[in-house]
Amino acid sequence: MIEFKGVSFAYNGQFVLENLSFTVEAGEFMGIIGPNGAGKSTLLKLADRILVPDIGSILLNSKPLRFFNRKDLARIVGFVSQGFASTFRFSAFDIVMMGRFPYQKTLALDSAEDREISFEAMKATDCLSLKDRDFMTLSGGERQRVILASALAQQPKVLLLDEPTTALDLKHQIHFYNILQNLCMERKMTIVSVTHDVNLAAQFCRRIMILKEGKILADGSVKEVIQEDILHHVYDIPIHIIDHKMTGRPIIFPVLKRKE
């Protein structure tokens, strides 16, 4: 579905991503983890052509990303940011409705169909009751669900998420990932989520990629990647792993040296 071929990207002459090559298959639920500054967000932005690679190419359905018309791209790929602070007073519904932009004629009014699809998207992420609220007065969790609904209103095949649960409490984190899991299983969406939460990724994702200093350090199934020596190398601290009693998936702990 998405293919990176020898992609490098530099900010001000400094390489953030170096020679990345990998493929995301349709229907995958993929997590990307790694320390701060590893280039995770940059990678996602490249995949949605918010940024353009300096070297290499990115293919979407075997077609180079740069050949896509911007609106066509938005019909296939949805992007969920970490959240944003808007200066102006958009309602939650305004934000969701923006997801209909790739389907609208420039001067046409919002159609009944646009409205219907936006409502459906808000139902799917459990935020329909917030539709008339001022976006900036919502809590972090509510805002993230609205942003996700806005991406769903694009009716995309692929969802790219940039640390979507960083600002959320435990309950909302799980709630959010449950929604993602449903989208992946029921609507066959391809999901790529960047996260700092290794445990959350290990519970929900089928495949995990680890980035460090702009390079792929590991890429594979959860069992293959979530290993003590690999994570030790990634985070530069000793890591201990046990298996979750109910799911059988790994849970990681940093090894703490307590001063008695």
Q: Tell me how far, at minimum, the Cβ of 50 lies from another protein, in Å.
A: 4
Rg of the chain in Å (alpha carbons): 19
- Cα(127)–Cα(171) distance, rounded to whole angstroms? 15
For another protein, which residue of 70, 245, 257, 259 counts as binding (CB under 8 A)?
70
For another protein, which residue of 42, 81, 173, 203 counts as binding (CB under 8 A)?
81
Q: Which two tokens stand for residue 44?
A: 């996602």
For another protein, what does the binding mask look like between residues 181 and 220, x meaning CB under 8 A? Answer: ----------------------------------------
- List, as own/partner pairs, every contact residues 164-171 make where C-beta atoms lie below 8 angstroms and the sequence separation is at least 24, other chains included: 164/80, 164/82, 164/193, 164/195, 165/195, 165/197, 165/200, 166/82, 166/195, 166/196, 167/82, 167/83, 167/140, 167/141, 168/140, 168/141, 168/144, 169/141
Of residues 1-30, those binding another protein (CB under 8 A): 11-12
Q: Tell me how far, at minimum, the Cβ of 242 lies from another protein, in Å.
A: 38
- CA-nearest of 58, 70, 80, 79 to 9 is 58
For another protein, which residue of 154, 165, 190, 193 counts as binding (CB under 8 A)?
154
Q: Tell me how far, at minimum, the Cβ of 39 lies from another protein, in Å.
A: 15
Taking the least distance from each CB to another protein, the nearer of 154 and 190 is 154
Taking the least distance from each CB to another protein, the nearer of 22 and 90 is 90
For another protein, which residue of 14, 106, 112, 229 counts as binding (CB under 8 A)?
106
For another protein, which residue of 7, 16, 77, 222 counts as binding (CB under 8 A)?
77
- Cα(94)–Cα(87) distance, rounded to whole angstroms? 14
Q: Which range, of 21-29, 104-112, 116-124, 219-227, touches another protein by CB under 8 A? A: 104-112
Amino acid 45 reads K
Q: Tell me how far, at minimum, the Cβ of 182 lies from another protein, in Å.
A: 22
